[in-house]
Amino acid sequence: MALVEEIADALLANDFSSTDEAKKIKLASGSTIEESCIAATATIGEKIELRRAESVAKNGSSLSIYVHANKRIAVLLNFKGEMPKEDAYNIAMHVAAMSPKYMTQDEIPED
């Protein structure tokens, strides 16, 4: 999990426009994300790879992040307007608890 957290911190701290650019970001350890994934693969024998990374511009909206204690479930809540941090965090936590099938309203079938 330490590698995942280090990658997440690096992605949040740097700008990138593609997954290929993201893989070239240097981690605190000095190696790139791609190099660290290759090293982890060699160490544990399972393929570790950053398959997708996307940068989201706030464009006047607000963000809240909730990461569950097991670190397997996370929600990034992007909403218009502002609200107290605690309220936004609680909404993100409830979204995680509901196990949603869709990420945006546009993905929901009309029927």
Q: Could you write out the DSSP letters of every residue in 51-79? A: --------TTEEEEEEE-TTSS-EEEEEE
Residue 59 has pLDDT above 90, yes or no: no
Residue 14 has pLDDT above 70, yes or no: yes
- Convert the pLDDT of each residue in 27-36 to its tens digit: 999 999 999 9
First to last CA, the chain: 40
The confidence band for 74, taking pLDDT boundaries of 50, 70 and 90, is confident
Residue at token pair 């940068």 = 55
Centre a 10 Å sphere on the Cβ of residue 22 and count the other Cβ atoms it contains.
22
Write the CB contacts of 69 (distance below 8 Å, at least 6 apart in sequence): none
Phi/psi zone of residue 45: left (φ > 0), alpha (ψ -120 to 50 degrees), beta?
left
The answer to whether 14 and 25 have CB atoms below 8 angstroms apart is yes
Residue 97 has pLDDT above 70, yes or no: yes
